[in-house]
Amino acid sequence: MEHVSADSLTLNTRHRVRDAAGLWAVSEQKVLWESSKTAVIVCDMWDLHHCKNAVGRVGEMAPRMNEFLNKARSKGAFIIHAPSSCTNFYKDHPARKRAIDAPKAANFPKAIENWCHWIDKVEEKQGYPIDHSDGGEDDDPLEHAAWAKHLADIGRNPRSPWQRQVDLIDINAERDAISDNGFEIWNLLEAHGIKNVMLVGVHTNMCVLGRPFGLRNMTRNGKNVLLVRDLTDAMYNPARWPYVNHFRGTELVIEHIEERVCPTTTSDQLLGGKPFRFKGDDPLHIVFMIGEKEYSTSTTLPDFAKRQLEYRGVRCTFVHVDSDDSNNFAGLEALKDADLLFISVRRRTPPKTQLDLIRAHLAKGKPVVGIRTASHAFDREPPDSEHIRWADFDDAILGIDYQGHYGNKPPKNPATVVSIKNNAAKHPILTGVDSSPFEAKSHLYRNKKTAITVEILLTGTLKGQNEIEEPVAWTNTVDGSRVFYTSLGGPGDFELPAFRRLILNGILWALDEPIPPADPRVIAHK
């Protein structure tokens, strides 16, 4: 049995597989690594970059990375600094000479000197989960132009301004090494008996994965490899598919790595506390309030959220009506820190304290989205004085007066044909929604009259009865709160791409978040 010293590294790691539905299944494992047989490679933590935002994120992450490296070093791990194309800056540094003078390895893996673009044919066929074909720069164009000028003014090449590793990271002259060369780094690993390699640095989807010393080469050549996932950052522009924010783009690359390349860990495994997060990496939080039996939203909404919202990095909390008390929504206190309330409730009368949470949410100017029975969510006689009826929720918040429906039992339930309102085609919520009329699965609601603050987006008619027309999707504004509602929402509607895109866009619009362009891949996660 291999000897394990007191300075061994105990690390929680994770990797991923996809289940039969195509969703991630996360597997966690604890590993025990001998410190003296472990190296940490610092990838391309340059002093400057052509993307200004990338420079800012390196500066924000570097102090935590330095703590991590110091801790790993103190436990006996070997630190290799790999600022690609900058090693000449360190030509007289003892750490650089240590790499040059390392004994030549007995055998070099095939192509260890080259980039590795894909670890195997499976990864190549799958491809990246983000589009970084534009280089991944996420600067504002005007800001980027000013940054390029600044780099030129200080004598740097605006396309490749790096000259050294950022000085926020210590290089130990007596113990560390400096190299960006695949042969040299392999020599170092073999000379030190290194079996285990951790990667930190940038950029996750480019250099960290592909360099000669990157994740792919280390993994395919037999090392035990971990990406320290909170000490990395991708090059990703949110204006490109899948149109998520920058930090979620990095997470998607990490998920890809966990599935196809190697497991990951986090810096707190050595440092304690919590993993590092960038200051702007605060996920949106949506609370789903679900309490109806007719349309199965207790099933369809969590599934939609997992595929369309959680996929985009949104934190979703589901508050279901109590199975033993048809009016109680235990857990609705989560609304206190929510960014949006999503309502799918039919004729319930919650306790006053719970309705007060909804009123407080609205009083802060925070948004609400409702589907189907939300128009009569709280319209029911209360069982006692502790419960409250909110009969005018439809008028006061949604901006309409719900008056029932046109029949829901054969033969009086003709299909609902949904069309875009003539003057609404350019509304952001209709981005990517097919402009052709489509047949919804939900029977038509009577939703007249509408408030002057309402903007109708979609209307519905009874199939074969064009003389009847009702609004089926619209926006409203109530004291600063954005409101989106649609009377659609039966289980069959969630099978329609147009409906899924409508709901996604309505949520993003209500949150005042960017809405993805018309791209069929946006709803490809069904």
Give the model's pLDDT for residue 404. Answer: 86
Residue 30 in domain = no
Distance of alpha carbon 19 from alpha carbon 396, whole angstroms: 44
Regarding whether 146 and 245 lie in a shared domain, the answer is: yes
CA separation (Å) from 68 to 10, 77, 193, 330, 389? 14, 11, 22, 41, 55
Distance of alpha carbon 240 from alpha carbon 133, whole angstroms: 9
DSSP character string of 90-141: GTT-HHHHHHHTSPPPS-PPTTTTS--S-SSHHHHHH--SS--TT----S-H
Regarding whether 357 and 307 lie in a shared domain, the answer is: yes
| Structural domain ending residue among the three candidates 271, 300, 326 | 271
The two three-digit tokens of residue 82, written as one number = 């790999």
Which CATH number is 172's domain given? 3.40.50.850
Distance of alpha carbon 305 from alpha carbon 32, whole angstroms: 36
Helix (H) or strand (E) holding 290: strand 285-291
Q: Name all contacts of 403-407 with Cβ < 8 Å and 24+ positions apart.
A: 403/446, 403/447, 403/448, 404/445, 404/446, 405/443, 405/444, 405/445, 405/446, 406/443, 406/444, 406/445, 406/446, 406/462, 406/468, 407/443
Angle at 291 between CA 286 and CA 295, to 5 degrees: 100
Q: Cβ atoms within 10 A of the Cβ of 20, count? A: 6
- Kindly report the pTM of this predicted structure: 0.92
Residue 517 in domain = yes
| Structural domain ending residue among the three candidates 220, 240, 271 | 271
Residue 447 in domain = yes
Residue 10 in domain = no
**Residue showing tokens 């509607």:** 493
Give the model's pLDDT for residue 1. Answer: 35
Helix (H) or strand (E) holding 259: helix 246-260
Give the model's pLDDT for residue 448. Answer: 81
Residue 11 in domain = no
Domain span including residue 310: 285-523
Give the model's pLDDT for residue 419. Answer: 94
Distance of alpha carbon 351 from alpha carbon 348, whole angstroms: 10
DSSP character string of 160-181: S---SB-TTS---TTT-EE---
Angle between helices 52-74 and 141-153 (to 10 degrees): 70
Q: How many domains does the chain have?
A: 2
For residue 409, what is the DSSP state? S
**Per-residue pLDDT of the chain in tens (526 residues, 90 and over written 9):** 344 455 899 999 999 987 777 777 899 999 999 999 999 999 999 999 999 999 999 999 999 999 999 999 999 999 999 999 999 999 999 999 999 999 999 999 999 999 999 999 999 999 999 999 999 999 999 999 999 999 999 999 999 999 999 999 999 999 999 999 999 999 999 999 999 999 999 999 999 999 999 999 999 999 999 999 999 999 999 999 999 999 999 999 999 999 999 999 999 999 999 999 999 999 999 999 999 999 999 999 999 999 999 999 999 999 999 999 999 999 999 999 999 999 999 999 999 999 999 999 999 999 999 999 999 999 999 988 889 899 999 999 999 999 988 876 555 667 889 999 988 999 999 999 989 999 998 889 999 888 999 999 999 998 877 778 999 999 999 999 999 999 999 999 999 999 999 999 999 999 999 999 998 888 765 4
Regarding whether 309 and 251 lie in a shared domain, the answer is: no
Residue 348 in domain = yes
Residue 20 in domain = no
Regarding whether 430 and 344 lie in a shared domain, the answer is: yes
Regarding whether 295 and 261 lie in a shared domain, the answer is: no
Which CATH number is 302's domain given? 3.40.50.880
Residue 64 in domain = yes
Regarding whether 426 and 292 lie in a shared domain, the answer is: yes
| Structural domain ending residue among the three candidates 271, 306, 328 | 271
Regarding whether 249 and 140 lie in a shared domain, the answer is: yes
Cβ-contact 336, 408 below 8 angstroms: no
